[in-house]
Amino acid sequence: MDTDFSDGLTRAELDAYWMPYTGNRAFKDSPRMIVGADGCYYLSADGKRIFDSLSGLWCCGFGHNRHEIATAISHLLTTLDYVPAFQVGHPLAFQLANRIVGMTPAGLDHVFFCNSGSEAVETALKMARAYWHLKGEPSRTKFIGRGKGYHGVNFGGTSVGGVEANRKPYGELVDTVHLPHTLLPENVFSRGLPEHGVELADELEELVAAHGAKNIAAVIVEPFSGSAGVILPPQGYLERLRELCTKHGLLLIFDEVITGFGRTGQNFAADTFGVTPDIMCLAKALTNGVVPMGATVATPEIYETFMANGGPDYAVEFPHGYTYSGHPVACAAALAALDIFEQEKLAARCHELAPYFEDAIHGLKGLPYVADIRNFGLAGAIQLESYPDEPTRRPGEVGKACWEKGLYVRYAGDCLALAPPFIAEKEDIDFTFNVLNDVIGALA
């Protein structure tokens, strides 16, 4: 039967949209529709206010429907809707590139724009391989990723990612080997960075010995993973990776699509951990999720290698880019979003709220089926024991029950992930974990 839902769409009409990363059959049998947003809350089609405990998909940390961003976009659309990304430019792209360079760690000075985190990663991988080709080392084509890592869904990102469910349907796409993940049983219920596992970084030595530094283009990692369930680096782990990449002459790529722009309590995780990569991938909070945009930021050494070896000065040094690279509307949104981020000191706000969030999430320890709790900055995950042979079922049940109580929780794999907006109040944190306490407690 074609039931008429409150938003006016019938069951048959829902089938036209093939939804991403969604159980389409289950959703379309019982849709959860959002029709409005404001601040930290969504409005559902049936009129409920829903607290957004994941900042959209890690991207709306500055709060929904910020009028400053809407005003900037509206103003631009009356003067400049689109500019080709190739061979001409517009001032906002240059302004934004300089703004980003002013925020990133020293030594990351050149910004290449794209349209998503997946494209930022793809750009970084192509940049790394082309860099070595220009340096006279074309054999450096292999990448080293990490188990349980997530780097988007394009060919390269799928390959260097370490989430097996994302890779399995497609086979090997890009020549990649993986470091072991850092989700260790001895670190369960750690508060902040876990104590055990720094030695896992030394697995890089074995991969270099097995494959040869002369064949490896780069190591790519998230400072901490988000999509796989907030998997954190052990204390000293990222510092050791940096040391080994420098020792063996490997490029280090940080995928900060989730961690960038405040999530760790500083501008970037690179700042928090005191580790500067050679290439950094950004997206999501760059525009506060309002307009799709990504960026890949590189060192002067990489940029100047392209400039010095690109042929005559009219030649294209890096044959790569997108129709919508540096789109003027996206640039306007990003500049307005970064104004909010800096003027409201949202990284510091995240840092201040993080201890309260930490105490609240770890307050769920001891509830039925809670196998682990992890947190860092304003991000956390609750790992649930699985039904036999059904690892994703229980988190889905919890997430749907939370929705009915006015809480949006992201569920994926065997985890519930949380990353509330930086503008959230302590009362919002209390509400989140009171609902989770009730829902998980009722599983017994």
Could you list the active site residues?
21, 150, 255, 284
Residues 6+ apart with CB under 8 A from 125: 143, 156, 157, 160, 174, 217, 218, 220, 253
Contact 231, 374 (CB under 8 A): yes
**Beta strand extents in 310-394 (DSSP E only):** 370-376, 379-384
β-sheet with 370-376: strand ranges across: 370-376, 379-384, 415-418, 410-412
Which H or E run includes 407?
strand 407-408
CA distance 246 to 201: 13
Please name which of 157, 182, 144, 436 lies closest in space to residue 283, comparing C-alpha atoms.
157
Beta-carbon contacts of 330 under 8 Å, excluding residues fewer than 6 positions away, are: 113, 115, 287, 291, 292, 293, 324
Round to the nearest angstrom and report the end-to-end CA distance of the chain. 35
CA separation for the pair 297, 101 (Å, rounded): 8
φ and ψ at 167, to 5 degrees?
-90, -35
**Amino acid, single-letter form, for residue 120:** A
Query: What is the side-by-side order of every strand in the sheet holding 41-44?
Result: 34-38, 41-44, 49-52, 407-408
The Cα–Cα gap between 316 and 311 comes to 8
User: Tokens in use for 271?
Assistant: 């700042």
Enclosing H/E stretch for 197 = none
H or E segment at 24?
A: helix 24-29
Could you tell me how far CA 324 lies from the centroid of its own chain? 20
Q: Taking the CB of residue 390, how many other CB atoms lie within 10 A of it?
A: 10
Longest dimension (CA), the chain: 70
Measured between alpha carbons, how far is 375 from 194 in angstroms, rounded to an integer?
Answer: 10
